[in-house]
């Protein structure tokens, strides 16, 4: 039976301990797991280790780095504020229960005085082989719907990059660069976000500079990067694989064609589905507003990367439409929904007008083939697709129309009988619109939508607005972001949603924020 202990934190006990995101590998059979520390809510810390083992659990107000020969590294700062919640290794205390799991819950007061308090936690368990040290975790208490900056800037400013969570909880930030969507300037640089120290550190660069590429975390812990654009729009058909254990990049198999602004989706069987994209993003000049060379480079082909065999093979058939800037999401059934995107265009008096995908596609991994499903009511590109808590998919925002203007509409897809159907969703409040934004499905099934851009293609302007769509479809406006940002990334972690990089009204940025969700 799991032993559970409850502590209610009062204002007189401002820092009893903290909960946060696992960041480092355990140094033995001992692991801490945590969830959000939202002021006014309850957090839970669990420690898993050998059943019946004595253990100690401590927190501090700053991190440290103390190697202990024969044991490992203690990541606490050993300040006068170091506090043991349990010290069973050196003093009498109950051992880990028969389940091997100790659980502790904390109810936080809804006090602004605690907003932003940061703590660092680590545990150790006594075993027959000695002391096993846990991973170290940090947490920042936050008011609901609040933002806190990371403790360090990124190693490089970047937008249109990709971020992949690694198996130890770190975030790998890959490529991107400067420039606008239609005139990107690529970089090969990469960096890691360490969620324990809440800082960034430069990592090994890729073999090629890439922006508008895709990066996918594989089941074996490696990262697969595909396609993208070099500076000024030359496309890549190459792929690369990153091994976190060696921090090394190796060349992967080539794609059948260059792919820029395509989709990449991890399937349940561990393969990666790669769909559409443009074969090049090259304009006649960097300042040209005739986008036909890009629109006409849209592709309807798709292929599958198998990390076990290291090969790429074409799907059994083409998508129903070519797509640049489409969106894809894996459904609860394991199938993949691919929607939207630009499929081509025509020129009218030297002005390029896009044509959009007329149908959407449903990919079945069992047959490696696509079937056509009904189209979105509003054709769009640069939108997001997220599975809500009720299993339905929300397509939010993007840009559409002859002038490719940002949209404020949403549509809801329901999978049914091997196909599905769309219904109208809520509009963003106050006639708002957004494209090149991020959307993250939260633990409660709601969707957090952040930033993006308004205006028309070639003249997008970033915004600082954020919204929340509940699992039943209601949309509401949240607190403003710390600054306007587009072409950024957002990922849900046990410490909150981490928003990284992007571009403001002038240039790419090197800042990152952590958003604390609403209760």
92 and 215, same domain (yes or no): no
pLDDT given for residue 4 in this prediction: 37
If you ran DSSP here, which 8-state letter would residue 75 be given? E
- From 396, 264, 255, 239, select the one nearest 330 (Cα to Cα): 264
Rounded to whole angstroms, how far apart are CA atoms 166 and 23? 10
138 and 181, same domain (yes or no): no
Rounded to whole angstroms, how far apart are CA atoms 291 and 112? 50
345 and 474, same domain (yes or no): yes
139 and 152, same domain (yes or no): no
Which tokens is 260 given? 């820029």
13 and 123, same domain (yes or no): yes
DSSP three-state, residue 231:
helix
Element (H, E) at 295: helix 292-295
Task: Output the CA angle 118-124-127, nearest 5 degrees.
Answer: 170
Rounded to whole angstroms, how far apart are CA atoms 124 and 30? 7
- From 167, 155, 140, 161, select the one nearest 61 (Cα to Cα): 140
How many structural domains does the chain have?
A: 2
Range of the domain at 238: 147-516
pLDDT given for residue 24 in this prediction: 67
Given a contact cutoff of 8 angstroms between Cβ atoms, the answer to whether 186 and 177 are in contact is: yes
Given a contact cutoff of 8 angstroms between Cβ atoms, the answer to whether 27 and 132 are in contact is: yes
117 and 157, same domain (yes or no): no
CATH at 105: 2.20.130.20
319 and 402, same domain (yes or no): yes
pLDDT given for residue 71 in this prediction: 87
501: left (phi over 0), alpha (psi -120 to 50) or beta: left
Kindly state the greatest CA–CA separation across the chain: 84
242 and 386, same domain (yes or no): yes
Last residue of some domain: 90, 114, 143?
Answer: 143
Phi and psi angles of residue 137, each rounded to the nearest 5 degrees, phi first: -130, 150
Rounded to whole angstroms, how far apart are CA atoms 485 and 465? 9
pLDDT given for residue 19 in this prediction: 25
**Contacts with 422 (C-beta within 8 Å, 6 or more apart), sequence order:** 374, 375, 376, 377, 411, 412, 413, 414
104 and 179, same domain (yes or no): no
Element (H, E) at 492: strand 489-493
CATH at 471: 2.120.10.80
181 and 66, same domain (yes or no): no
**E strands, 199-325, where?**
199-203, 214-217, 223-226, 239-243, 248-251, 263-266, 272-275, 302-306, 311-314
Last residue of some domain: 89, 114, 143?
Answer: 143
Give the alpha-carbon dihedral of 167, 172, 174, 180, to 10 degrees: 120
**Contacts with 302 (C-beta within 8 Å, 6 or more apart), sequence order:** 273, 274, 275, 276, 314, 315, 318, 319, 363, 370
Given a contact cutoff of 8 angstroms between Cβ atoms, the answer to whether 163 and 174 are in contact is: yes
- Chain centroid to Cα 419, Å, comes to 28
Half-sphere exposure of 160 toward its Cβ, with a 13 Å CA cutoff? Answer: 28
**Contacts with 267 (C-beta within 8 Å, 6 or more apart), sequence order:** 273, 304, 330, 334, 336, 365
30 and 104, same domain (yes or no): yes
- pLDDT tens string, the chain, 519 residues long: the values are 333 333 333 322 222 222 223 346 788 899 998 999 999 999 999 999 999 999 999 999 999 988 888 888 899 999 999 999 999 887 888 999 999 999 999 999 999 999 999 999 999 999 888 899 999 999 899 999 999 999 999 999 999 999 999 999 999 999 999 877 877 899 999 999 999 999 999 999 999 999 999 999 999 999 999 999 998 789 999 999 999 999 999 999 999 999 999 999 999 999 999 999 999 998 877 778 889 999 999 999 999 999 999 999 999 999 999 999 999 999 999 999 999 999 999 987 778 899 999 999 999 999 999 999 999 999 999 999 999 999 999 999 999 999 999 999 999 999 999 999 999 999 999 999 999 999 999 999 999 999 999 999 989 999 999 999 998 889 999 999 999 999 999 999 999 999 999 999 889 999 999 999 998
348 and 388, same domain (yes or no): yes
Bridge partners of 265? Answer: 273
pLDDT given for residue 6 in this prediction: 35
pLDDT given for residue 18 in this prediction: 29
Residue where the block lists tokens 């940025």: 509
pLDDT given for residue 21 in this prediction: 32
pLDDT given for residue 252 in this prediction: 99
Last residue of some domain: 109, 143, 177?
Answer: 143
How many helices and strands, by DSSP H and E, does the chain display?
1, 48
């Amino acid at each position: 039976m799991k032993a559970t202990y409850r502590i209610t934190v009062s204002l007189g006990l401002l820092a009893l301990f903290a909960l946060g995101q696992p960041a480092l590998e355990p140094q033995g059979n001992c692991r801490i797991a945590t969830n959000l520390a939202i002021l006014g809510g309850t957090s839970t810390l669990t420690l898993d280790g050998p059943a019946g083992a004595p253990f100690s659990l401590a927190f501090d107000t700053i991190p440290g780095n103390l190697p202990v020969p024969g044991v490992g590294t203690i990541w606490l700062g050993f300040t006068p504020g170091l506090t043991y919640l349990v010290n069973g290794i050196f003093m009498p205390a109950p051992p880990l229960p028969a389940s091997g799991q100790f659980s502790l819950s904390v109810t936080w007061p809804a006090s602004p005085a605690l907003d932003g308090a940061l703590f660092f936690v680590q545990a150790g368990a006594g075993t027959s082989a000695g002391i096993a040290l846990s991973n170290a975790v940090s947490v920042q208490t936050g008011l609901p719907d609040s933002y806190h900056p990371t403790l360090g800037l990124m190693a490089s400013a970047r937008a249109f990059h990709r971020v992949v969570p690694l198996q130890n909880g770190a975030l790998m930030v890959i490529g991107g660069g400067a420039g606008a969507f239609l005139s990107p300037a690529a970089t090969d640089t990469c960096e890691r976000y360490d969620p324990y120290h809440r800082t960034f550190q430069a990592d090994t660069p890729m073999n090629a500079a890439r922006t508008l590429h895709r990066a996918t975390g594989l089941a074996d812990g490696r990262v697969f990067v595909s396609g993208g654009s070099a500076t000024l729009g030359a496309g890549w058909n190459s792929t690369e694989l990153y091994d976190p254990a060696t921090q090394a990049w190796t060349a992967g198999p080539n794609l059948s064609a260059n792919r820029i602004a395509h989709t990449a989706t991890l399937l349940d069987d561990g393969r990666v589905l790669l769909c559409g994209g443009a074969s090049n993003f090259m304009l006649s000049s960097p300042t040209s507003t005739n986008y036909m060379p890009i629109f006409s480079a849209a592709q309807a082909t798709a292929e599958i990367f198998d990390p076990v065999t290291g090969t790429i093979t074409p799907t059994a058939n083409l998508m129903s439409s070519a797509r640049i800037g489409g969106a894809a999401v894996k459904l609860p059934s394991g199938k993949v929904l691919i929607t939207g995107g630009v499929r081509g265009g025509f020129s009218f008096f030297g002005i390029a007008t896009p044509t959009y995908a007329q149908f959407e596609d449903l990919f079945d991994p069992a047959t490696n083939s696509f079937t056509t499903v009904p189209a979105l009511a509003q054709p769009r590109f640069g939108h997001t697709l997220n599975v809500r808590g009720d299993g339905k998919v929300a397509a939010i925002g993007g840009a559409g129309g002859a002038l490719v203007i940002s949209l404020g509409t949403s549509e809801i897809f329901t999978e049914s009988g091997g196909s599905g159907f769309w219904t109208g969703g809520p509009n963003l409040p106050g006639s708002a619109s957004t494209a090149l934004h991020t959307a993250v499905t939260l633990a409660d099934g709601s969707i957090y939508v952040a930033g993006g851009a308004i205006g028309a293609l070639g003249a997008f302007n970033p915004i600082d607005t954020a919204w929340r769509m509940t699992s039943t479809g209601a949309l509401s406006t949240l607190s403003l972001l710390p600054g306007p940002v587009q072409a950024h990334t957002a990922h849900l972690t046990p410490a909150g949603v981490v928003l990284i990089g992007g571009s403001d009204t002038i240039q790419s940025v090197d800042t990152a924020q952590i958003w604390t969700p609403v209760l």
